[in-house]
Chain A
Amino acid sequence: MFSFFDNPTLISVALGTALLGAVSGALGSFAVLRRQSLLGDALSHAALPGIALAFLFFGNSPLLFLVGAALAGWVATLLVALIVRHSRVPFDSALGGSLAVFFGFGLVLMTYIRKHNINHASSVGLERYLYGQAATMLDSDLRAIAILGGLALVILALLWKEMKLLSFDPEYAASLGYPIRGLDTLLTALLVVAIVIGLQCVGVVLMSALIVAPAAAARQWSNRLGRMVLIAAGFGAASGVIGTVLSDQLSAPGRIVPTGPTIVLAAIGFVIVSFLWRSLRTRISRRALREEQPA
């Protein structure tokens, strides 16, 4: 902790993960409210073959990795929808199955790339997309997070009213003439953006937790959407910073601790505190109610 302000790299990395946490916290709130928590799981696992294919065809270009990851995630959600609509396979099986198949295919491509050392893969370190290694973040990556994440937040702010209506009462929104299918697609696309920019820092396996955890924690503190989104963004940003510092502190020469787990565990810490607070509060208010009644 003492070395934190002396280390400019660490500061810029922490800035990146904080931004990432804020974006995924804000967008994750909508996913949690719309009961799409598991969509994030499928999307992030499915991103792996997208990254590998982008690397296979275009070489080392982080921006194209993002595009490949987003496309693969999008294809996976389409496939899940297709299977559910046109067969009797239930939603959870379709989701779990596609997640595993995409992830498996991604692993195949990754090992192929590594064994044949295509495009000098060993020097690029594609592994960081698996478990997340924020320390490898470059200024260009930071810029990509800032631009894409900022854009997602701006779109969310501009369409705030519509998104709110869509999340709580889609039928009413449709009856008012809002294009809910389009809005639904847009909100999912924003979620994809949040997931994709987080892959490098948190990794495909744990990214879904960063979507769900800050939002689930924030839900315990407020019943108002605006406040919930702000609190979730705050929790997300704090988890990013704490996780980055933790990973830096725990790493020793010859032992690299990935940032993914530490960031996620920091977020889970917020969840546990929030759950405890909520239970405590309900207990206190119940007791207060009981004491009032006899009078």
Chain B
Amino acid sequence: MIPDSIEILLMLMLTAASCSLLGVFLVLKKMALLSDAIGHVLLLGIVLAYFVTGDLQSIFLVIGAALSGLLLVALVEWLARSRLVKEDAAIGLAFPALFALGILLASLYCSHTHLDIDRVFFGIPELAPLQRVIIGVYDVGMFSRWLMTGVVVLNAAFIILFFKELKLATFDAALAATLGFYPVVLHYALLGLVSLTAVAAFEAVGPVLVVGFMIVPPATAYLLTDRLHRMVVYSVCIGAVGSAIGAQVAQYFDVNIAGTVATVLGIQFALAFIFAPQHGRVVQIRQRLRQRREFFEQMLLIHLLQHEGTPEQEEESRVAGLHEHLRRSPREVARIVKSITRKNLAIISGTSLDLTLMGREQAQRVIGVASSSDGLPSTTATG
């Protein structure tokens, strides 16, 4: 028999994996907020299905709630098309409305059952091990873990089988439609799975945090790679690692597990946002600084070239006076002069900076490019 903490960890990792698998396509198709929508409406679906079945562990409850999520998406799309309100307002109206109804019903009729309000809001994975699947006399593990395993397998199968179709529908829906791939069918199949996954994840993470599990790992992976299949793999890994760390931290501080995992996922995104190899802020800023430096170097070379052989040459190429002609700070100029001389594009002779053969060639090449493209020799560098 596996200890509870391991089982909770396993369940969280499965939840994160199944959410991220679908989240990739939600992020890329700009439908992230539909997962918010579905997460919220499930509460109503679960409460209503609970009234009918009277059992929190029924598979019919899962399916019924998943169908309610799908219905809601159709409702919102219809509301937005009716043009009574804009799309953002349609989302902003429909979900809280049904969520409010769900809370009201839960607080009216379910306060004495397992479906209490706290559960409904946060998701309490700590309680999940209490519900076991018993086959004969053998206890084969907790209900949620088996449910999540099934969902992961289903989602993975869907994505692997329809990878090509999903890819096409995500990046060029019009072409997919022309080629006869039925993007609408695929759209609803995807949202149906999102709905099913959200119901299964409901117990572990609650309605609000499902959004975090679906959106944040794929958004993080989106910063790390340009290829779709890598993005899928990365986001599953990111989700699983985040849940593992989150579960440990939460057990150490004795706080809400799902919330901690969401926080860890957020931190992972922040790290990727800052340090990602290609799309990270650090790299972007360094790239911009390098471009600025290169541009300035070229400007300096052209400046020297323009005044070569003219009477003002001595004054214009005086090292100590360069910053006035180029309208930059002396420190910046000193740095550029150093890098230019190191690259052997110019040499300091006495007080003035003179172009070398290589430097002159490079400056002429830059002017050549500039004058052939817009017909004007660059004169901006002269001071």
**Bind each other:** yes
Q: Would you call A184 an interface residue if the criterion is a C-beta within 8 Å of the partner chain's C-beta atoms?
A: no
A130 to B121, CA, bound (A): 9
Most buried by B among A105, A258, A261, A262: A261
Q: Would you call B194 an interface residue if the criterion is a C-beta within 8 Å of the partner chain's C-beta atoms?
A: no
Given A105-B259, A111-B259, residue A216 in contact with residue B93 (CB < 8 A):
yes
**A208, B92: Cβ atoms closer than 8 Å:** yes
Q: Would you call A265 an interface residue if the criterion is a C-beta within 8 Å of the partner chain's C-beta atoms?
A: yes
Contact among A93, A105, A258 with B215 in the assembled complex (CB-CB below 8 Å): A93
**B84, A93: Cβ atoms closer than 8 Å:** no
**B27, A90: Cβ atoms closer than 8 Å:** yes
A90 to B31, CA, bound (A): 10
Q: Would you call A88 an interface residue if the criterion is a C-beta within 8 Å of the partner chain's C-beta atoms?
A: yes
Interface range on chain B (Cβ under 8 Å from partner): 35 or more
Q: How far is the CB of A49 from chain B (nearest CB, A)?
A: 9
**A131, B265: Cβ atoms closer than 8 Å:** no
Given A93-B215, A104-B260, residue A88 in contact with residue B84 (CB < 8 A):
no
Q: Would you call B170 an interface residue if the criterion is a C-beta within 8 Å of the partner chain's C-beta atoms?
A: no
Tell me which residues across on chain A come within 8 A of B92, comparing CB atoms. Answer: 37-38, 40-41, 208-209, 211-212
**A261, B100: Cβ atoms closer than 8 Å:** yes
Tell me which residues across on chain B come within 8 A of A208, comparing CB atoms. Answer: 92, 96
**A205, B211: Cβ atoms closer than 8 Å:** no
Tell me which residues across on chain B come within 8 A of A258, comparing CB atoms. Answer: 103, 107, 117
**A212, B223: Cβ atoms closer than 8 Å:** no
Q: Would you call B209 an interface residue if the criterion is a C-beta within 8 Å of the partner chain's C-beta atoms?
A: yes
Q: Would you call B360 an interface residue if the criterion is a C-beta within 8 Å of the partner chain's C-beta atoms?
A: no
Q: Would you call A284 an interface residue if the criterion is a C-beta within 8 Å of the partner chain's C-beta atoms?
A: no
Tell me which residues across on chain B come within 8 A of A209, comparing CB atoms. Answer: 92-93, 96-97, 100
Q: How far is the CB of B62 from chain A (nearest CB, A)?
A: 22
**A112, B100: Cβ atoms closer than 8 Å:** no
Tell me which residues across on chain B come within 8 A of A271, comparing CB atoms. Answer: 93, 97
A104 to B261, CA, bound (A): 8
Given A35-B88, A101-B265, A105-B266, residue A96 in contact with residue B36 (CB < 8 A):
yes
Tell me which residues across on chain A come within 8 A of B215, comparing CB atoms. Answer: 93, 96-97, 100
A residues 190-237 near B (Cβ < 8 Å) are 205-206, 208-209, 211-213, 215-216, 219-220
A46 to B85, CA, bound (A): 25
**B266, A257: Cβ atoms closer than 8 Å:** no
Stretch at the interface among B4-12, B250-258, B345-353: B250-258
Tell me which residues across on chain A come within 8 A of B36, comparing CB atoms. Answer: 41, 96, 99
A88 to B219, CA, bound (A): 9
Q: Would you call A71 an interface residue if the criterion is a C-beta within 8 Å of the partner chain's C-beta atoms?
A: no
Interface size of A by CB at 8 A reads 65
**A37, B259: Cβ atoms closer than 8 Å:** no
Given A37-B89, A37-B92, residue A97 in contact with residue B107 (CB < 8 A):
no
Name which residue of chain A comes closest to B87, CB basis.
A35
A1 to B103, CA, bound (A): 23
A267 to B145, CA, bound (A): 39
Q: How far is the CB of A42 from chain B (nearest CB, A)?
A: 10
Q: How far is the CB of A279 from chain B (nearest CB, A)?
A: 8
B residues 223-261 near A (Cβ < 8 Å) are 223, 250, 253-256, 258-261
B residues 22-41 near A (Cβ < 8 Å) are 26-27, 30-33, 35-36
Name which residue of chain B comes closest to A246, CB basis.
B104
Most buried by B among A96, A211, A212: A96
Q: Would you call B216 an interface residue if the criterion is a C-beta within 8 Å of the partner chain's C-beta atoms?
A: yes
Q: Would you call B76 an interface residue if the criterion is a C-beta within 8 Å of the partner chain's C-beta atoms?
A: no
Tell me which residues across on chain A come within 8 A of B27, comparing CB atoms. Answer: 89-90, 93
Given A101-B216, A104-B263, residue A265 in contact with residue B104 (CB < 8 A):
yes
Tell me which residues across on chain A come within 8 A of B208, comparing CB atoms. Answer: 45, 99-100, 103-104, 205
19 new A-B contacts, CB < 8 A, other than A104-B212, A108-B250, are A35-B88, A37-B91, A37-B93, A41-B36, A87-B223, A88-B223, A92-B30, A96-B35, A99-B208, A100-B208, A108-B263, A115-B255, A131-B117, A206-B96, A209-B92, A209-B97, A211-B92, A260-B103, A265-B100
The 3 A-B residue pairs whose C-beta atoms are closest, nearest first, are A104-B262, A100-B212, A101-B266
